[in-house]
Amino acid sequence: MRISARNQLAGTVTSVEHGAVMSTVVIELEGGQEVVAAITKDSAQGLQLAEGDAVRVIVKSTDVMVGKD
């Protein structure tokens, strides 16, 4: 799959929890950090996401915040 988004992070699905409409997908990145994605239940089921799946987290946003104490 080739896409224009440059912010792609390889990881492994560690859990998928389906709600009535949305699903929460937890992905562990190669460095041990986790990314939690809220996607539609239809999308999660269409991708057949399951624990242990190798996936790519793709971040495409016009707003990115940075904070510092």
**What is the set of domains in the chain, with CATH numbers?**
7-59 (2.40.50.100)
Whether residue 1 is predicted with pLDDT greater than 80 in this model: the reply is no
Whether residue 36 is predicted with pLDDT greater than 80 in this model: the reply is yes
Per-residue pLDDT at 65: 83
Whether residue 4 is predicted with pLDDT greater than 90 in this model: the reply is no
| Rounded distance between C-alpha atoms, residue 50 and residue 5, angstroms | 24
Q: Are 42 and 34 in contact (CB under 8 A)?
A: no
Whether residue 39 is predicted with pLDDT greater than 80 in this model: the reply is yes
| Rounded distance between C-alpha atoms, residue 23 and residue 43, angstroms | 9
Whether residue 60 is predicted with pLDDT greater than 90 in this model: the reply is no
Q: How confident is the model at residue 29 (pLDDT cuts 50, 70, 90)?
A: very high
